[in-house]
Structure 1
Amino acid sequence: MKQFKLGLVPKLIIAIIIGILIGEFMPLWFCKTVVTLSSIFSSFLKFVIPLMILAYVTMGIADLSQGAGKLLIITVLLAYCSTLVAGSMSFIVSSTLFPHFMAPDALEKIQATADVSVGTYFSISLPAVIDTLSAVVLAFILGLCMSSLRGKTIGTTLYDSMKDFSAIIDAVLHTAIIPLLPLYICGTFVDLTYSGKTFTILGILWKVFIVVIAMHLVYLLIEFCLAGSIAHKNPIKLMTNQISGYTTAIGTQSSAATIPVNLECARADGICSQIRNFVVPLCANIHMCGSMITITACATAVCLMNDLPISLGTVIPFIMTLGVAMVASPGAPGGSIMTALPFLYMVFGTTAGDPNGPICALMVALYITQDSFGTACNVSGDNAIGVVVDQIYRKVIMKGQAVAVD
């Protein structure tokens, strides 16, 4: 008889349920113990993420024997355009539906739980060797140079060293990070539930919450249908492959932290190793379609509740600016909204848009309650882009030559 092995998705779902039950029924000391363990793992994860990006993006680009620069530009353009379209769609839907069910005092009630947290018994400071954005830029430089110069003006020493480094990071991911992800997710939901955040949004602004999630899912359906039609793949199968990545992102609230699982989703989609190794880590830092949908919807809700003027003319420049500013913001939960704070004046106006003012504080509170689903949309959309880039690589760059999936 084969030994029964519980898959990642069931483990993540169980972790979420256990986290909610602990946060709801267990005493504070027990909750703090779980959150402390989750926090220690989170510190380790943040330390590994830049190394992961450096290893995978560098080797992904370096292994592209042809068209590395072109594919990189195509990926960045697809990610940016997707983010702009997502934000524009969000404003049109939100401005149409939200006025019918907005309660003026809703954000005040949400704000009451914004600063409530379980806390930890202690924390471990583990600074990253290199920050995320620097890792992305360095990976571009190393990958592009090795792809174009290896075997011509330079040897293979650096390439072999980076390949070994990538293998080390891969071993760390599969032996430590992925097995411990359920603990991280459990701790997140313990904190959210004990502090009252999990159910606050459902009890006060559940209609807004549902509309935002529906926009995420509709946008993902559009993305995967387009990707499937371009690559001649079943979009339903592609979305099914993405379930583990989507669930992981809900629990981690971090695109970067979901990279290991998302790489496995990309493998299931049939994306070749060269493409997935640079598209998935890269898009985790530049493709923010879900976050943009949530931020735009929250900004629209705040304006409607506070009788502030808002129009497509003011939202589009905001979306275009934020599409660039949010690069490398997903290292921590809520990173996107913290990046957006200095630019909220473009929607709220100079006075109401003060990052330290009450309007922006309400904006942060509303966003944080929905952040995990925006992150899940981000990472799922990353693989839709990966399917498209993989098809371009196979048909245009390699001209039908065989490429490796594993």
Structure 2
Amino acid sequence: MHILKAYRFPLTILLSVIIGAILGLVFGEKVEVIKPLGDLFLNLMFTLVVPLVFFSIASAVADTDNAKRLGKIMGSMLGVFIITGIVASLIMLLSVSLFSPTEGVSITLKAPDHVEQAKSFSDQLVQAFTVDDFSKIFSRENMLALIVFAALVGLSTSLIGEKGKPFASLLKSGSEVFIKFVSIVMYYAPIGLGAYFASLVGVFGPQLVGDYARAAVVYYPTAIIYFLVGFTLYAFLAGGPLGIKTFWKNAVSPTAVSLATSSSVATIPVNLEAAQRNGVPRDIRETIIPIGATIHMDGSCLSAILKIAFLFSIFQKDLLTPSAFLIAIGIALLSGMVMSGIPGGGFIGEMMIVTMYGFPTTALPILAILGTLVDPPATMVNAVGDNVSSMLVTRIVDGKNWLKRALSGNGSGSSVQKNESGQYSGENPHI
């Protein structure tokens, strides 16, 4: 009973997702009738995510009096993101080398109905980091620009000292308000996620038995193995055996939300809650999680390698050469870290694969279909990867015993502690 009480919310989420999957398999596309229940949850999450990201990042930076610590957090974050992206790419390269993703596939290439002309890379970077009107900054279509803006607001608040204290308090209060908003919305999560997952399985399940089945069969197990084994290793590096236990105890909600919604952005609120329960200090979790949702995409690195291998097999080209391997890893990193933060980045990443290897543009629909089929597990890896990355960054910034200090109530900036019964308590104990 004690275990059931401690895990009742994650178990409820998990049960709702399982029921949704069963409904999708049984009723197929007819289950679309309950999709609005899932859309309601997703819309609520998307509505609150923009102000949550703004207040979280701005308040975290504003409260950081130590510029050296902030620099260490950002540097460690980039290092962790790059290393985990390379590891993910190498794992998928090994997988596609052992199992051909196109064996027995017969695909007729069709020219896409409309192919947009990609803008120059410099123009795309400008659009990614800035907008031309203040009203556009508060849109989830411009998340990277919002993150830059929020960080600059927080930095400006910190630099003016005492005069910025009232505004810093406002930012912190706003962050607390929207964290509470998340806790309210999450009461509806079991219904919303169950309905959304039912729709996902009902619509896309049948496609997995078509010509793309083998690619999906290669991707799904590889992504799940990376998710289970890779993240367990990262959690161990971050906090030892206690890190593994703590991470997986709090990973259920981000996993369920990311799988059901296929959106890293929609997973930010529950990811922040999970990071808080993992003992990650506030200035680290409220920096790493929102930024990671935009530029840290291990699942996208996995899918980029699969797309490259898929096209290489179809056009009977050899991927198992050093130059092809290095280019593939480079494209995967760009797709997972740089392109994902640029508006239309998915399309640009696919165009990069086609043009750098000299494939015809008629191959673009193949990549689009593959991207759709592998999106749920890719998003799961992307989103939950941000969570374990925040633990790794904390290990680098706060030292070896950070997790023990955090869970004993002496962590740097963490509001999570254990109560007398051994359960975690914090700002939102029911999540």
Residue in 1 that maps onto 2:157 = 146
Q: Does 1:193 align with 2:197?
A: no
The residue type paired with residue 34 of structure 1 is: I
Query: How far off is 1:37 after superposition?
Result: 3.5
| Counterpart-to-counterpart distance in 1, 2:9 and 2:144 | 29
| TM-score normalised by L of structure 2 | 0.74
Residue in 1 that maps onto 2:219 = 212
Q: Does the C-alpha gap of structure 1 residues 25 and 316 become closer, same or farther in structure 2, counting only changes over 3 Å?
A: closer
Structure 1 residues 36-55: Cα deviation after superposition (integer angstroms, max 9, x where no partner):
33334433432322222112
Residue in 2 that maps onto 1:297 = 306
Aligned residues: 372
Would the aligned equivalents of 1:94 and 1:300 in 2 still touch at CA under 8 Å?
Answer: yes
| Counterpart-to-counterpart distance in 1, 2:47 and 2:60 | 21
Would the aligned equivalents of 1:285 and 1:327 in 2 still touch at CA under 8 Å?
Answer: yes
Query: How far off is 1:190 after superposition?
Result: 3.4
| Counterpart-to-counterpart distance in 1, 2:180 and 2:252 | 23
| Counterpart-to-counterpart distance in 2, 1:347 and 1:186 | 41
Q: Does the C-alpha gap of structure 1 residues 16 and 105 become closer, same or farther in structure 2, counting only changes over 3 Å?
A: farther
Structure 1 residues 178-223: Cα deviation after superposition (integer angstroms, max 9, x where no partner):
223334433433333333x124325765554344233334434335
Query: How far off is 1:387 after superposition?
Result: 1.2
> Residue 174 of structure 1 is aligned with which of 177, 183, 189?
183
Query: How far off is 1:375 after superposition?
Result: 1.1
> Residue 261 of structure 1 is aligned with which of 251, 259, 270?
270
Q: Does 1:314 align with 2:327?
A: yes
> Residue 73 of structure 2 is aligned with which of 40, 62, 71?
71
Residue in 1 that maps onto 2:47 = 47
Q: Does the C-alpha gap of structure 1 residues 12 and 231 become closer, same or farther in structure 2, counting only changes over 3 Å?
A: closer
Q: Does the C-alpha gap of structure 1 residues 128 and 58 become closer, same or farther in structure 2, counting only changes over 3 Å?
A: closer
Residue in 1 that maps onto 2:341 = 328
The residue type paired with residue 98 of structure 2 is: T
| Counterpart-to-counterpart distance in 1, 2:87 and 2:28 | 45
Long gaps (5+) in structure 1:
109-126
Would the aligned equivalents of 2:20 and 2:198 in 1 still touch at CA under 8 Å?
Answer: yes
Would the aligned equivalents of 2:262 and 2:379 in 1 still touch at CA under 8 Å?
Answer: yes
CA RMSD, 1 decimal:
3.4
| Counterpart-to-counterpart distance in 1, 2:40 and 2:238 | 43
Q: For residue 257 of structure 1, give the secondary structure of its aligned residue in structure 2.
A: coil
| Counterpart-to-counterpart distance in 1, 2:256 and 2:316 | 36
Residue in 2 that maps onto 1:113 = none
| Counterpart-to-counterpart distance in 1, 2:282 and 2:211 | 45
| Counterpart-to-counterpart distance in 1, 2:137 and 2:5 | 37
Would the aligned equivalents of 1:344 and 1:360 in 2 still touch at CA under 8 Å?
Answer: no
Query: How far off is 1:162 after superposition?
Result: 0.8
The residue type paired with residue 69 of structure 1 is: G
The residue type paired with residue 157 of structure 2 is: M
Would the aligned equivalents of 2:351 and 2:364 in 1 still touch at CA under 8 Å?
Answer: no
Structure 1 residues 339-374: Cα deviation after superposition (integer angstroms, max 9, x where no partner):
52332224552x52x2xx3x2212221221121111
Residue in 2 that maps onto 1:369 = 373
| Counterpart-to-counterpart distance in 2, 1:185 and 1:347 | 39
The residue type paired with residue 97 of structure 1 is: F
Q: For residue 94 of structure 1, give the secondary structure of its aligned residue in structure 2.
A: helix
| Counterpart-to-counterpart distance in 2, 1:383 and 1:298 | 26
Q: Does the C-alpha gap of structure 1 residues 272 and 46 become closer, same or farther in structure 2, counting only changes over 3 Å?
A: same
| Counterpart-to-counterpart distance in 2, 1:365 and 1:38 | 23
| Counterpart-to-counterpart distance in 1, 2:285 and 2:259 | 21
| Counterpart-to-counterpart distance in 1, 2:300 and 2:59 | 28
Residue in 2 that maps onto 1:120 = none
Would the aligned equivalents of 2:339 and 2:349 in 1 still touch at CA under 8 Å?
Answer: yes
Query: How far off is 1:173 after superposition?
Result: 0.9
The residue type paired with residue 91 of structure 2 is: M
Residue in 1 that maps onto 2:86 = 84
The residue type paired with residue 145 of structure 2 is: S
Residue in 2 that maps onto 1:392 = 396
Q: Does 1:270 align with 2:246?
A: no
Would the aligned equivalents of 1:254 and 1:375 in 2 still touch at CA under 8 Å?
Answer: yes
Q: Does the C-alpha gap of structure 1 residues 17 and 33 become closer, same or farther in structure 2, counting only changes over 3 Å?
A: same
Would the aligned equivalents of 2:25 and 2:205 in 1 still touch at CA under 8 Å?
Answer: no
| Counterpart-to-counterpart distance in 2, 1:22 and 1:96 | 35
Q: Does the C-alpha gap of structure 1 residues 381 and 27 become closer, same or farther in structure 2, counting only changes over 3 Å?
A: closer
Structure 1 residues 125-160: Cα deviation after superposition (integer angstroms, max 9, x where no partner):
xx9833312211112212333344433xx3312101
Q: Which moved more, 1:50-59 or 1:90-99?
A: 90-99
Q: For residue 271 of structure 1, give the secondary structure of its aligned residue in structure 2.
A: coil
| TM-score normalised by L of structure 1 | 0.79
Long gaps (5+) in structure 2:
110-135, 416-431
| Counterpart-to-counterpart distance in 1, 2:269 and 2:10 | 14
Q: Which moved more, 1:47-56 or 1:212-221?
A: 212-221
Would the aligned equivalents of 2:335 and 2:346 in 1 still touch at CA under 8 Å?
Answer: no
| Counterpart-to-counterpart distance in 2, 1:172 and 1:128 | 21
Percent pairwise identity: 19
Would the aligned equivalents of 1:62 and 1:144 in 2 still touch at CA under 8 Å?
Answer: yes
Structure 1 residues 9-58: Cα deviation after superposition (integer angstroms, max 9, x where no partner):
33333333343344455597x74442233334433432322222112122
Q: For residue 307 of structure 1, give the secondary structure of its aligned residue in structure 2.
A: coil
